[in-house]
Chains A and B, each alone.
Chain A
């Protein structure tokens, strides 16, 4: 799998570690379950740790404290939070990413994995994703193009771009 970050294909320094695999030295991404079960051991390694959340997991049950809320206290210990698109039509991770960035101020990497396609790229960037596992690195130009297809948007979101209402306000101020 290829990692797209900052508009470039980059080497993925993070090892994806299965639940039964030994944790190698170096940056490692583990499941939520493993993070919750082996939190202290993982932190004692003195290597960066990331957590991978499935869509169901990350939202949790309605009304129960969300997983993102649960791990919010740990966010400063995590280098990456991986959110999954089981299908590109499953949009839960957009909310999850915004919560990570806007509510809990997570500054590490928010990585999109699964069915990650260029036509959703701008929405993902807007919601705070900054790393993308893409299947076909040969189409990098297409992804770069997709990043700027729409220049200004109506809503404020996690990318903290000025929304159209804010741009209008600024334009009136200048006038």
Chain B
């Protein structure tokens, strides 16, 4: 993985001291809260309902065991003993004290971590495919370019006060696990006719109040031009993005209002001015970064491990876990292991300090000391030999990370909601927990199969409900919590936005409504057909009918 050199270390250390000064000026009253606000946001620090919340960034979701142990230590020392992994591969601490935040950041800096651009109208933490480097269907490892983009975007002098926040995601695989079509900029690695790898550039996707699927503005961008092209896009956005209304300030609105064609023309014209300048990426720089992401020292296996196959045959619980929580690895005899942070009655994405430490130990023992964070709010050990899977599974079970539900109905993506967030209209976590209880039966979950439920507590859509197969959006109806249901969303390479199927349902009725949606699916599905395919084949009608009854379908039509 990437390691800081002296320049990165000095930079982060200086940034910590700079922020310490800013916090000092806030505490002394020299800075008003209004003046301090953009400064703290630029360093990932929010003021929530009950306390400050610090979002520590995890570039492209990749951690060493040492870093994960430090997050555990931070959780103990500065928080209440836990952290919350987010839908953008970061971690949030909900209870730090303002005066302690500079020390917290200094601790993080010792393991090459920080909170820079965790928030604010800046280029946020760059995200990437959680299976980068180990997925079987990869053109190239996107982490190399994610790291290059991370460095370029860090305290960029021109782009730190943009009209609105700005999110960049990368994928190198055919199957998009990074949701690149619903980001401000999505970069999908592709090959040109000559077999040279480069990027498809997608701009103007996003969720929030005005969800949109991004537009491809360039089919192929050569690697050397990556930064100059990004700079051109950002320069157009910085100058012309709307600043009169924060709800219309994201780049998706600019692309929409100008039209993708006109927007592309502006970017290309700007790019022609700068493309062969100082931002050109030399091949030697790409190689230098590539070296950081070299494969770990794998053992060579010819085929699947016989012991593993034998355990699969005799241990049903292990088999169930292996079926739902393992993903195919590019190397024979290895597996990608997903650690579920969605146990029964848990808070999606939460992990205690003890769990983080245990996961770090297991990563050292079985997985070359590396952990990934997924945007589904789970953890991944990307390189585990099949030989070790049964032992690992038992160890994960002991720390509560072996729930066999990855990609299933109880693997719910949820924002913190009204329990923590000052923007929320309704609770999210208790709804996720109630759905979890309703579908706790593992056979039933397994039978339902792949189904993504996403819950957002308000229209800012941090739970990405627009791209959930089933999405729930919390709304406030005269002081009561209601939930609008959307169906058919997807964030992968066939990205689509969910459709609203009818009136919002009450907090008490929402779990029944979900069950009704699923009942319709089970009734209408063809053999081996996942929920999203059935929905795409049949449309909303049978699902509406199941939730609201026949009458309402006709009313709505």
Known: A62-B236, A103-B273. A126 touches B157 (CB 8 A): yes
Which of these, B7, B18, B38, B279, contacts A149 with CB under 8 Å?
A: B18
Size range of the chain A interface in the assembly:
35 or more
A141–B135 Cα distance when bound, in Å, is 53
Query: What is the 8 Å Cβ interface bit string for chain B, positions 13-34, against chain A (1 contact, 0 not)?
Result: 0110110011000000000000
A59–B241 Cα distance when bound, in Å, is 11
A61–B236 Cα distance when bound, in Å, is 11
Interchain CB contact under 8 A, A91 and B155: no
Interchain CB contact under 8 A, A155 and B161: no
Residues of B within 8 A of A103 (CB): 273
B312 at the interface (CB under 8 A from A): no
Query: What is the 8 Å Cβ interface bit string for chain B, positions 256-274, against chain A (1 contact, 0 not)?
Result: 0010001001100000010
A88–B155 Cα distance when bound, in Å, is 16
Residues of A within 8 A of B245 (CB): none
**Distance to closest chain A CB from B65 (angstroms):** 27
B154 at the interface (CB under 8 A from A): yes
Interface residue stretch chosen among A44-52, A75-83, A117-125: A117-125
Give me 5 A-to-B residue pairs in the complex whose CB atoms sit less than 8 angstroms apart, sorted by A's number.
A89-B121, A89-B161, A127-B158, A153-B11, A165-B285
Interchain CB contact under 8 A, B238 and A91: yes
Interface residues in B22-67 (C-beta closer than 8 Å to A): 22, 35, 38-39
Residues of B within 8 A of A152 (CB): 7, 10-11
Known: A95-B239, A127-B157, A127-B158. A150 touches B11 (CB 8 A): yes
Known: A91-B158, A117-B35, A168-B7. A149 touches B258 (CB 8 A): no
Residues of A within 8 A of B285 (CB): 165, 169
A91–B279 Cα distance when bound, in Å, is 21
B318 at the interface (CB under 8 A from A): no
Residues of B within 8 A of A22 (CB): none
Known: A63-B262, A168-B7. A154 touches B236 (CB 8 A): no
**Distance to closest chain A CB from B232 (angstroms):** 11
Known: A92-B238, A95-B239, A164-B7. A150 touches B258 (CB 8 A): no
B330 at the interface (CB under 8 A from A): no
Interface residues in B255-305 (C-beta closer than 8 Å to A): 258, 262, 265-266, 273, 277-279, 285
Interface residues of A (CB under 8 A from B): 59, 61-63, 66, 88-92, 94-96, 98, 103, 117, 119-120, 122-124, 126-127, 145, 149-157, 163-165, 167-169
Known: A63-B262, A89-B161, A90-B161. A154 touches B240 (CB 8 A): no
Chain B: which residue is nearest A167 at the CB level?
Answer: B7
Count residues on chain B whose CB falls below 8 Å from chain A CBs.
Answer: 42
Which of these, A91, A150, A169, contacts B161 with CB under 8 Å?
A: A91
A127–B161 Cα distance when bound, in Å, is 13
Apart from A94-B238, A127-B158, A151-B10: 8 A-B pairs, beta carbons within 8 A:
A59-B239, A62-B266, A63-B265, A90-B161, A151-B14, A152-B10, A156-B277, A164-B11
**Distance to closest chain B CB from A120 (angstroms):** 8
Residues of B within 8 A of A122 (CB): 157
**Distance to closest chain A CB from B122 (angstroms):** 9
Known: A150-B155, A155-B157. A91 touches B162 (CB 8 A): yes
Chain B: which residue is nearest A149 at the CB level?
Answer: B18
Known: A152-B10, A168-B5. A91 touches B266 (CB 8 A): no
Interface residues in B510-544 (C-beta closer than 8 Å to A): none
A150–B11 Cα distance when bound, in Å, is 7
Residues of A within 8 A of B238 (CB): 91-92, 94-95
A150–B35 Cα distance when bound, in Å, is 20
Interchain CB contact under 8 A, B14 and A150: yes
Which of these, B35, B152, B273, contacts A154 with CB under 8 Å?
A: B152
B160 at the interface (CB under 8 A from A): yes
Chain B: which residue is nearest A160 at the CB level?
Answer: B278
B156 at the interface (CB under 8 A from A): yes
**Distance to closest chain A CB from B239 (angstroms):** 4
Known: A63-B265, A156-B279. A123 touches B160 (CB 8 A): yes
Residues of B within 8 A of A123 (CB): 155, 157-158, 160-161
Would you list the 10 A-B pairs with minimal beta carbon distance, nearest first? Answer: A91-B161, A126-B157, A156-B278, A62-B240, A59-B239, A123-B157, A149-B18, A94-B158, A164-B7, A154-B151
Interchain CB contact under 8 A, A63 and B266: yes
A150–B239 Cα distance when bound, in Å, is 26
B243 at the interface (CB under 8 A from A): yes
A63–B265 Cα distance when bound, in Å, is 9
